[in-house]
C-alpha cells in the first residue's frame, strides 16, 4: 500500500505542497524574531492571492500581478503594524480583524468582478511557470523530484537561505533580533525599534504574498474562496517548533508537506474515512510540536539540575 | 561657564496619568561628576530616560551646550554625545559582547564582520583599561563585566556626557572601587558624568556637585564639599529624620513564625539565602535591614511561598508550611504587603472596593459562591474610612488614586484580613509623608493588638523607629540581631553590619 | 466637586465604541457608493431591511442566538487573560454531538433536548480545556494550540457525521431530527425557537457567574494581573482551567441549540466560525457580558440587513466583513481617541500633585 513512497512523483508533490506553508512559516519566523505575533498571516495570504490574480488578469502581465500582490502584502502588514505599534491595539485581535476582512472581502470583490462567489475561473490570469533546471533534470529520480517545480518553489528556497543569512549575518538581522529579544536594550543602543519592526512586517508581507500567489497563480491557475484553508494558521504552529529559525521552519514545513501529500495518497489508495484523514496533517504537526516542546523543557530542566 | 547640559521646567506625565516629574530644573557643568540623589520613586530614572530620549517629554526644555534639543529617540541623544548606563542593563542576552558593542552603530558595511567586531571591542576595552571578554555571550557574563560592557558601549558611541543609573547597586565593594577609579580616569579625560544613587556615602566620595530630587521635583543643587551626609538625607527625605513614636511596652508570649536554616539559590545559581533562621513572636515588630540584594526579598518570597526553599523549614504558628501554597498560608493566618504595589499589590483597572476583598473574597461568598456585594460595600466603605483612603467613591478604579492612597488601600486590605502574622515589604516606599505616618501608626496599632510583624525596609529610620528587634542581612546571612527596645540602635551601627564590616558572633534570633 | 471631576470619563469607552461603529459604517457606505449602481437602495436595505417584514425581524433575533453563545464563551475565557479560541471547536462538536443524540437515541420530548444539550455542553467543555492543559506542559501559545484544535475537531466532527450519522440518499447530511429532539417553534410564522429562552437564561447565568460570584471575581483578577492574583493566594492555573471548561460548555451548548433549534438536519459541511463574530461582540461589549446581547443583536441586524441588501441589489452581503475589520481595529486601538482622555488624565495628575504639595506644606 505504501509503495508510492518510492515514486519520485510523490516526493515532487511533497515539495509542491510544502511551498505555501514554507513561505507562511518564513513570515511567522521573521515576526517571532522581531518580537511580534501575527495571526493575520492567513488573511494576508488570501488577499494577496486574489490581488495577484486580478491584476495579472487585467494587465495581462505576470510581473505586474506579482508586483501588486507583493505590494498588497506589504500594505496589509503595515496596516496591522500601524494598529499594533502606533495605536497600541492588541496583536491577536488585529490579526483576527485582518482575517475577517480577508475572508469576507475577497468574496465580496470576487462577486463584484467575476460574478461568482466561488472562483475566478472566468478570468484569464497569468501564472508562475514551472522551471526545468538544466543538468539537474537529467539525473534520474533526483531530477524528477527537484527539477520541474514551480518558479515560486525555487523562490521560496532562495528566500529561506536569504532570510537565514540576513538574520544571522547582517547588521539588519542583528538589529531585528535585538529588537525582538530585548526592545528596551535595542532602543537604548540607538536602534530605531519601530523601523525594524516595520521592516520585519514588510518582509512578512512579501513572504505571505508569494505564499498566497503560489496557491492562486502556481499550483492552481485561478482564485477560489478560502483557498488558503488554514495554512497561515498552521505556519504559527510550525513557527512554535522553529522558534524563529528559518532552517528549522523549513524542515518542519517539509514535514507538513510530507504529511499533507501522504494524506492525499492515502485518500486515493486506502479504504479509510476520507475526512478523518484530512485531520492528519494538523494532528501530525500538533504531535511533533508537543513532543519537541516537551523534550525542550526536559532539557532545560536537566541543565538547571546539573548546575546544582 | 556655560553648562553642558541644562534642564528647564521639565514635566513628565505617563499614559494613565502618573506624574513622574514636575517642573524639574537643573544643570550640569562640563567635566564634573554630578550626583543626582533621591528616594525610590522620586523620579530620577524618568528624568534620565527623558535626557536619553527614551521617554517623551510632556512639557519643558532640554539644552545641550546652550542649544535647545528635542530627542525623538536614543539615537538623537547619542548624536548629542549623551550616553546612559541603565540600572537594568540594556544588553541582549543571546548576543556576544562584541555584538552588543556594535549593536545599532551606523557602519559602512551591511554585513556583520564578526572577527573585526571582536578585535575592535578588545581595542576599545584596552584603551580605557576595561577588562571584558568580547566573545562571550552576555547571558554568561558576570554582573561587573556586563556593566563594563555597558560603559564601553556608550564610550564607543562617542558619549561625552555619561549617565549612570544606580551603577553600584549590583556591584561588590571591590567592583565598586574599581568602577570609581575608572570614573575618575574618565573625568580626567574630560568626560562629564551624571551619577544617580541613593547611597550617600558613595555620592560624597565621588561627586563634585549634588542635585536632590524629591517627589518628582528638584530640591536644589549643592557643592558636595559644602553639605554633610545628614543634610543630604534630610533634603532627600524632606522630613525630620527620625519618627518618634510612643511605643507601648509589650511582652511577647508566644512564637508565631519560625524560620529554620533556610537556603535558596536563584535561577542563576547564586546563593541568595545561606542558612537563615529566626523567630517572630506576637506583639513584636521584627525589622530586617540590609543593602538591596542581600537576600531580603528572597527571604520574603520564600516565606510567602512564591519561591521554594532549597533547604530549611518555615513554621507558621507551629505548623510546617515550607511547601504549602500561597492560599494555604494565607488561610493559616499570614498577610503580606508586597514591595511593588502596582505589580503584585493590586489590579489597577479594578475598583477600590474590588481591590479590597481579593485576599479574603471567599469570606464574602455564601455556599453557592455568590458574593454578597452589599457586605463587600459595607466592608470597603468601613475600611476606606478607617484607613483614610482618599477616593471619590468605592467604585473608582484604584489606578486613579495617588500612590499613597493606593498603598493605604492595600494596607487596609491586608490588615483587615484577620491574620496574626503580617509581612511588610517596603510598606512606605514612594509614599507621601502623610500616608507614611498614617501607615506607621496602623502598624503600631496592629502590634498592640498582638500581631507579629516582619518589616523589611530600605528606610533605616523607619526600621529604627518601629522595630523591637532588627535583623541585619548580609550576603544571604543574618549577621546581627539587635535589640531596639531599651535603647535605639544607631544608624551608624546598622550601617556597619549592613556593609559586612561588623558581624555578631553566634547570632540567635 | 470630586464627583464632577470624573464624569466626562465615565462614558469615554462607550463614546469610543460608538465612534468606531460610526466610522466603520461611513466607510462601508462610501464603498457602496463607489461600487454599486443603486447605492441609495442598497443602503436603505442594509439599514432598514430587517424592519420591513416580521419574518426578517425575527431572523435577526434567531441569528443573534449563536453569536451570543460564542461571545459569552469567549467572554469567560478571554477575561481570564488567555487568548484561546477553542470555543469554535466546542461549538461545532456540540452541534455534532447533539445530532448524534437526536438521531441515534430515542427519548421522550423535553428529556431528549435536555440530554443532548447537556452532553454537548460537557464535551464542549472538555474540548476547550485541551489547549489550556497542553499549554501548561508544552509552553506553546494557547492561541496557536486552540486554532490547531479547531481544525482537528472540525475534521473529526465532520467525519463522525459522514461515518455514523449520514443519510444515504439525497444531499450530504444527517437524517432529519425527530420532533422530540427539536426545540420547536415559539412564535408561528417565524422560525423562532425555544433556544432563545435558553439563551436568555445562559446570559443571566454568565452575568451572575462573572460579576457576582467569587469564581468570576477570581477569573477577572487573574486576567487583569496574574501576579497579583497569585500573591493574593488565588490558584490561577485552576481558575483558568475552570474558566476554559465553562467557556467550552457555553459554546458546546450553543452549538447544540443552534443545530436542533434552527435546522432540521445536520448539513454543516464547512466550519461555521461563529467564534470570530463572538470575538468582535466581546470586544464591542467592552468585555462586559451585560452588553453582549445588545451588541449581538446589532451585528445580527447588520448581517440580515446585508443579506436583504444582496438579494435586492448587485452587492454581496460579505461587505459586512469590512465593517467588522474596521470596528475591531478601532475599538482595539488604545490610542484611538486617546487624545481626549490624555488631556483629562494630565489635568488630574497635576491637580493631585498640587493637592499633595499643599498637604506636604501644611
All structural domains of chain A: 2-299 (1.10.3470)
Residue C2, burial from CB neighbour count under 10 angstroms (0-12, 13-18, 19+): exposed
Looking at residues A178-199, what average pLDDT do you find? 88
Q: Mean of the per-residue pLDDT values for chain B?
A: 83
pLDDT at A304: 67
Q: Provide CB contacts within 8 A for A253, sequence distance 6+.
A: A18, A21, A22, A25, A235, A238
- For B5-237, CATH gives 3.40.50.300
- Subunits next to C (3 or more Cβ pairs <8 Å) are A, B
Q: Which of A100, A234, A235, A280 to mutate to test the interface with C (most CBs of C within 10 A)?
A: A100
Lowest mean pLDDT: which of A69-83, A157-171, A293-307, B306-320? A293-307
Tell me: pLDDT of B230 over 90.
no
Q: Rg of chain C's alpha carbons, rounded to an integer?
A: 23
Tell me: pLDDT of A29 over 90.
yes
How many angstroms away from the CA of C347 is the closest CA of chain B? 8
* Distance separating alpha carbons of residues A103 and A226, to the nearest angstrom: 6
Q: Provide CB contacts within 8 A for B115, sequence distance 6+.
A: none
The strand order across the sheet containing B192-197 reads B82-85, B161-165, B192-197, B33-37, B209-214, B217-223
Q: What percent of chain B has pLDDT over 90?
A: 3
pLDDT at C356: 61
Q: How many CA atoms lie within 13 A of C200 on its CB side?
A: 6
pLDDT at A272: 65
How many CB atoms sit inside 10 A of residue C22's CB?
A: 12
**Contact by Cβ (8 Å): A107, A227:** no
The helix/strand/coil state of B427 is coil
Nearest chain C alpha carbon to B364: C214
Q: How many CA atoms lie within 13 A of A190 on its CB side?
A: 25
ipTM: 0.86
Q: Where are the domains of chain B?
A: 5-237, 255-342+418-498
pLDDT band at A273, cuts 50/70/90? Answer: low
* Distance separating alpha carbons of residues B470 and B483, to the nearest angstrom: 7
Q: Which residue has the higher pLDDT, B160 or B293?
A: B160
Encode burial over A150-185: b for 16+ CB neighbours within 10 A, e otherwise: bbbbbbbbebbeebbebbeebbbbbbbbbbbbbbeb
Q: Which of B13, B238, B393 to mutate to test the interface with C (most CBs of C within 10 A)?
A: B13
**Contact by Cβ (8 Å): A197, A31:** no
Tell me: pLDDT of B240 over 60.
no
Tell me: pLDDT of B474 over 50.
yes
- What are the chain B neighbours of C360 within 8 Å (beta carbons)? 215, 238, 432-434
Counting every residue, how long is chain A? 308
**Contact by Cβ (8 Å): B28, B161:** yes
Bridge partner residues of B59 (DSSP): B11
Tell me: pLDDT of A168 over 70.
yes
What angle separates helix C274-284 from helix C292-312, to the nearest 10 degrees?
Answer: 130
Looking at residues B66-93, what average pLDDT do you find? 86
User: Which of C35, C134, C328 is opposite residue A96, by nearest beta carbon?
Assistant: C328
Please write the tens of the pLDDT for every residue from B83-137: 888 877 888 888 888 888 888 777 667 777 788 888 888 888 888 888 888 888 8
Residues of chain C scoring pLDDT < 50: 1-6, 360-362
CA B314 to chain centre: 26
Q: Which of B14, B55, B84, B103 to mutate to test the interface with A (most CBs of A within 10 A)?
A: B103
Nearest chain A alpha carbon to B152: A189
Name residue, grid cell 505575533: A37
Please write the tens of the pLDDT for every residue from A56-110: 988 988 899 999 999 999 999 999 999 999 888 888 889 989 998 999 899 988 8
- For B255-342+418-498, CATH gives 3.40.50.300
User: Where in B190-252 does DSSP place strands (E)?
Assistant: 192-197, 209-214, 217-223
* Distance separating alpha carbons of residues B33 and B36, to the nearest angstrom: 10
Nearest chain B alpha carbon to C233: B327
How many CB atoms sit inside 10 A of residue B64's CB?
A: 19
Q: Which residue has the higher pLDDT, B169 or C33?
A: C33
Are B5-237 and B255-342+418-498 equal in CATH topology?
A: yes
* Distance separating alpha carbons of residues A52 and A54, to the nearest angstrom: 6
Bridge partner residues of B51 (DSSP): none
Name residue, grid cell 500500500: A1
Bridge partner residues of B10 (DSSP): B24
How many CB atoms sit inside 10 A of residue C193's CB?
A: 22
pLDDT at C1: 35
The helix/strand/coil state of B455 is strand
Amino acid at each position: 500500500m505504501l509503495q508510492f513512497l518510492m515514486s519520485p512523483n510523490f516526493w515532487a508533490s511533497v515539495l509542491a505542497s510544502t511551498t505555501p506553508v514554507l513561505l507562511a512559516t518564513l513570515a511567522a519566523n521573521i515576526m517571532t524574531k522581531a518580537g511580534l505575533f501575527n495571526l493575520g498571516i492567513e488573511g494576508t495570504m488570501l488577499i494577496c492571492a486574489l490581488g495577484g490574480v486580478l491584476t495579472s488578469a487585467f494587465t495581462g502581465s505576470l510581473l505586474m500581478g506579482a508586483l501588486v500582490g507583493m505590494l498588497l502584502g506589504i500594505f496589509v502588514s503595515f496596516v496591522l503594524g500601524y494598529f499594533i505599534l502606533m495605536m497600541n491595539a492588541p496583536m491577536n485581535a488585529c490579526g483576527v480583524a485582518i482575517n475577517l476582512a480577508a475572508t469576507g472581502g475577497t468574496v465580496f470583490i470576487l462577486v463584484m468582478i467575476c460574478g461568482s462567489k466561488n472562483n475566478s475561473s472566468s478570468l484569464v490570469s497569468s501564472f508562475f511557470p514551472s522551471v526545468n533546471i538544466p543538468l539537474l533534470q537529467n539525473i534520474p529520480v533526483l531530477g524528477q523530484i527537484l527539477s520541474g517545480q514551480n518558479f515560486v518553489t525555487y523562490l521560496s528556497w532562495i528566500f529561506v537561505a536569504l532570510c537565514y543569512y540576513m538574520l544571522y549575518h547582517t547588521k539588519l538581522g542583528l538589529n531585528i533580533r535585538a529588537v525582538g529579544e530585548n526592545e528596551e536594550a535595542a532602543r537604548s543602543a540607538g536602534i530605531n525599534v519601530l523601523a525594524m519592526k516595520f521592516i520585519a512586517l514588510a518582509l512578512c508581507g512579501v513572504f505571505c504574498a508569494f505564499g498566497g500567489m503560489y496557491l492562486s497563480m502556481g499550483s492552481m491557475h485561478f482564485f477560489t474562496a478560502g483557498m488558503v484553508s488554514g495554512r497561515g494558521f498552521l505556519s504559527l504552529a510550525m513557527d512554535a517548533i522553529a522558534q524563529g529559525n528559518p532552517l528549522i521552519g523549513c524542515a518542519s514545513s517539509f514535514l507538513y508537506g510530507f504529511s499533507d501529500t501522504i494524506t492525499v495518497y492515502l485518500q486515493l489508495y486506502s479504504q479509510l474515512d476520507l475526512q478523518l484523514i484530512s485531520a492528519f496533517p494538523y494532528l501530525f504537526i500538533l504531535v511533533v510540536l508537543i513532543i519537541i516542546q516537551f523534550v525542550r523543557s526536559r532539557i532545560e530542566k536537566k541543565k538547571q539540575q546539573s548546575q546544582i | 561657564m556655560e553648562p553642558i547640559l541644562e534642564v528647564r521646567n521639565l514635566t513628565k506625565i505617563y499614559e494613565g496619568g502618573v506624574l513622574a516629574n514636575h517642573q524639574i530644573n537643573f544643570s550640569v557643568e562640563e567635566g564634573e561628576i554630578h550626583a543626582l540623589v533621591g528616594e525610590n520613586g522620586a523620579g530620577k530614572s524618568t528624568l534620565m530616560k527623558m535626557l536619553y530620549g527614551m521617554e517623551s517629554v510632556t512639557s519643558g526644555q532640554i539644552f545641550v551646550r546652550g542649544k535647545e534639543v528635542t530627542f525623538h529617540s536614543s539615537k538623537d541623544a547619542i548624536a548629542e554625545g549623551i550616553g546612559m548606563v541603565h540600572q537594568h542593563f540594556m544588553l541582549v542576552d543571546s548576543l556576544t559582547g562584541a555584538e552588543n558593542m556594535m549593536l545599532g552603530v551606523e557602519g559602512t558595511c551591511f554585513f556583520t564582520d564578526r572577527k573585526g567586531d571582536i578585535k575592535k571591542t578588545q581595542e576599545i576595552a584596552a584603551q580605557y583599561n576595561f577588562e571584558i571578554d568580547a566573545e562571550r555571550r552576555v547571558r554568561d557574563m558576570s554582573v561587573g563585566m556586563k556593566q563594563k560592557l555597558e560603559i564601553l558601549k556608550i564610550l564607543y558611541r562617542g558619549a561625552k556626557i555619561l549617565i549612570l543609573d544606580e551603577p553600584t547597586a549590583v556591584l561588590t565593594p571591590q567592583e565598586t572601587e574599581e568602577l570609581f577609579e575608572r570614573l575618575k580616569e574618565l573625568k580626567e579625560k574630560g568626560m562629564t558624568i551624571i551619577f544617580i544613587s541613593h547611597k550617600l556615602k558613595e555620592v560624597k566620595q565621588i561627586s563634585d556637585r549634588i542635585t536632590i530630587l524629591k517627589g518628582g521635583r528638584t530640591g536644589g543643587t549643592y557643592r558636595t564639599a559644602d553639605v554633610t551626609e545628614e543634610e543630604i538625607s534630610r533634603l532627600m527625605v524632606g522630613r525630620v529624620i527620625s519618627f518618634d513614636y510612643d511605643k507601648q511596652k509589650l511582652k511577647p508570649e508566644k512564637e508565631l513564625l519560625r524560620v529554620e536554616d533556610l537556603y535558596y539559590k536563584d535561577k542563576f545559581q547564586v546563593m541568595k539565602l545561606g542558612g537563615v533562621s529566626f523567630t517572630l513572636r506576637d506583639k513584636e515588630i521584627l525589622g530586617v535591614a540590609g543593602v538591596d540584594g542581600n537576600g531580603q526579598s528572597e527571604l520574603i518570597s520564600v516565606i510567602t511561598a512564591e519561591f521554594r526553599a532549597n533547604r530549611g523549614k518555615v513554621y507558621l504558628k507551629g505548623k510546617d508550611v515550607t511547601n504549602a501554597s500561597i492560599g494555604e498560608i494565607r488561610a493559616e493566618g499570614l498577610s503580606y504587603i508586597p514591595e511593588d504595589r502596582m505589580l503584585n499589590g493590586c489590579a489597577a483597572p479594578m475598583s477600590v472596593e474590588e481591590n479590597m476583598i481579593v485576599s479574603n473574597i471567599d469570606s464574602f461568598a455564601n455556599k453557592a459562591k455568590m458574593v454578597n456585594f452589599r457586605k463587600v460595600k459595607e466592608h470597603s466603605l468601613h475600611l476606606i474610612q478607617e484607613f483614610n483612603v482618599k477616593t471619590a467613591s468605592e467604585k473608582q478604579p484604584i489606578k486613579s488614586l495617588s500612590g499613597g492612597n493606593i498603598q493605604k488601600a492595600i494596607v487596609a486590605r491586608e490588615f483587615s484580613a484577620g491574620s496574626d502574622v503580617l509581612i511588610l515589604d517596603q510598606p512606605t516606599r514612594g509614599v507621601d509623608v502623610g500616608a507614611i505616618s498614617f501607615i506607621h501608626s496602623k502598624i503600631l496599632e496592629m502590634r498592640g493588638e498582638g500581631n507579629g510583624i516582619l518589616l523589611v525596609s530600605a528606610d533605616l529610620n523607619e526600621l529604627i523607629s518601629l522595630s523591637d528587634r532588627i535583623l541585619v542581612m548580609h550576603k544571604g546571612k543574618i549577621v546581627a540581631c539587635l535589640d531596639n527596645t531599651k535603647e535605639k540602635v544607631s544608624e551608624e551601627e546598622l550601617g556597619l553590619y549592613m556593609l559586612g564590616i561588623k558581624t555578631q558572633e553566634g547570632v540567635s534570633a | 466637586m470630586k464627583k464632577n471631576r470624573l464624569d466626562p470619563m465615565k462614558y469615554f469607552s462607550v463614546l469610543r465604541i460608538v465612534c468606531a461603529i460610526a466610522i466603520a459604517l461611513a466607510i462601508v457606505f462610501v464603498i457602496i457608493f463607489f461600487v454599486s449602481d443603486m447605492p441609495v437602495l442598497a443602503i436603505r436595505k442594509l439599514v432598514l431591511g430587517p424592519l420591513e417584514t416580521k419574518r426578517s425581524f425575527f431572523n435577526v433575533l434567531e441569528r443573534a442566538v449563536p453569536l451570543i453563545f460564542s461571545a459569552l464563551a469567549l467572554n469567560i475565557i478571554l477575561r481570564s487573560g488567555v487568548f484561546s479560541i477553542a470555543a469554535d471547536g466546542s461549538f461545532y462538536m456540540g452541534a455534532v454531538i447533539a445530532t448524534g443524540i437526536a438521531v441515534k437515541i430515542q427519548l421522550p420530548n423535553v428529556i431528549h433536548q435536555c440530554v443532548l444539550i447537556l452532553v454537548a455542553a460537557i464535551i464542549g467543555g472538555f474540548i476547550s480545556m485541551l489547549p489550556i492543559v497542553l499549554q501548561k506542559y508544552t509552553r506553546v501559545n494557547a492561541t496557536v494550540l486552540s486554532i490547531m484544535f479547531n481544525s482537528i475537531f472540525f475534521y473529526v466532527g465532520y467525519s463522525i457525521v459522514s461515518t455514523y450519522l449520514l443519510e444515504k440518499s439525497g444531499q450530504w447530511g444527517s437524517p432529519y431530527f425527530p420532533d422530540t429532539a427539536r426545540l420547536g417553534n415559539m412564535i408561528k410564522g417565524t422560525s423562532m425557537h425555544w433556544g432563545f429562552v435558553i439563551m436568555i437564561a445562559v446570559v443571566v447565568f454568565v452575568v451572575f457567574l462573572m460579576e457576582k460570584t467569587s469564581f468570576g471575581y477570581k477569573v477577572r483578577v487573574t486576567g487583569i494581573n496574574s501576579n497579583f492574583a497569585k500573591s493574593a493566594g488565588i490558584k490561577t492555573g485552576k481558575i483558568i482551567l475552570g474558566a476554559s471548561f465553562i467557556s467550552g460548555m457555553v459554546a458546546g451548548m450553543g452549538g447544540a441549540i443552534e443545530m436542533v433549534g434552527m435546522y432540521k438536519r445536520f448539513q454543516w459541511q464547512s466550519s461555521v466560525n461563529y467564534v470570530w463574530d463572538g470575538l468582535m461582540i466581546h470586544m464591542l461589549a467592552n468585555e462586559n457580558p451585560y452588553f453582549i446581547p445588545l451588541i449581538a443583536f446589532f451585528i445580527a441586524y447588520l448581517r440580515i440587513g446585508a443579506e436583504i441588501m444582496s438579494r435586492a441589489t448587485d452587492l454581496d452581503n460579505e461587505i459586512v466583513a469590512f465593517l467588522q475589520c474596521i470596528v475591531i481595529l478601532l475599538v482595539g486601538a488604545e490610542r484611538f481617541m486617546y487624545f481626549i482622555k490624555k488631556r483629562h488624565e494630565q489635568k488630574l495628575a497635576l491637580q493631585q500633585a498640587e493637592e499633595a504639595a499643599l498637604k506636604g506644606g501644611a
